[in-house]
Amino acid sequence: MKKTVYLLLTLGIVLLTGCKTSKRMAVSPLPAETAPATVEFLSSELQLIVPTRDGNTFSVKGNMKMKGGERVQISLLMPILRTEVARIEVTPEEALFLDRMNKRFARITRTELNSRLSADVEFRKLEKLLVDAAHGGRQNLTGKELGLRSLEKAEVQFYNFSTEVLNLSPTEVSSRYTQVSLEEIMILLKDFL
């Protein structure tokens, strides 16, 4: 499931613009003594860092919101303005990639994700990964550790966790958006990197 989370995050990066940086964020896990097996709500900030072909790095910040057993939403934000340019939403049954800048989306079922990634892709593993990270587990992973050959040096970091109650409703896709295939998103990602 770790591969799914980070593949989803790296797919989102192609949908937006960002800034070049090598700055790392301070990690702030929740107290370990409050670590339940599951949580009803969890949120955090995140930073995705991807090396570019020219030797620099591309960095984008965002946030993650989770409602246990139901959905995880990852929003990638435009630097400075902090407006959402892409959203990735994962539920037990599907994943949604929403490109707000180009008004496109891709909706992929769990079966399709399993056939493209591995038979080991499960929503509850994603939840466990996020809950563990919130309580002092691994909060920073590289593409190499996840088996993503084309993104070996990419990394994502979760920080500033909270278990406060939050409003997390399903993402509704406007009729102004055009549906595209996951393959189109993958081609854009390859071209970008």
The pTM (predicted TM-score) of the whole model is: 0.74
Q: Closest by alpha carbon to 46, among 36, 58, 29, 60? A: 60
Tell me if residue 136 falls in helix, strand or coil.
coil
Please give the pLDDT value at position 149. 54
Q: Which stretches does DSSP call E strand in 18-172?
A: 41-51, 57-67, 71-77, 84-90, 94-99, 104-109, 140-142, 155-162
Q: Crossing angle of helices 182-192/2-13, nearest 10°?
A: 70
Specify the DSSP element, H or E, that contains 9.
helix 2-13
Q: Which residues contact 125 (CB under 8 A, 6 or more apart)?
A: 1, 2, 4
Alpha carbons 144 and 39: distance in angstroms, whole number? 29
- Taking only the tens place, the pLDDT of each residue in 120-176 is 457 888 888 889 889 888 888 776 655 455 567 778 899 999 999 999 999 999 999
4-56 residue pLDDT tens: 334 444 444 433 333 333 344 444 555 544 555 568 999 999 998 888 878 88
**Dihedral (Cα; 48, 49, 51, 55), 10-degree rounding:** 150
Phi-psi region at 4: left, alpha or beta (left = phi > 0; alpha = psi -120 to 50) = alpha
**Three-state DSSP class for residue 76:** strand
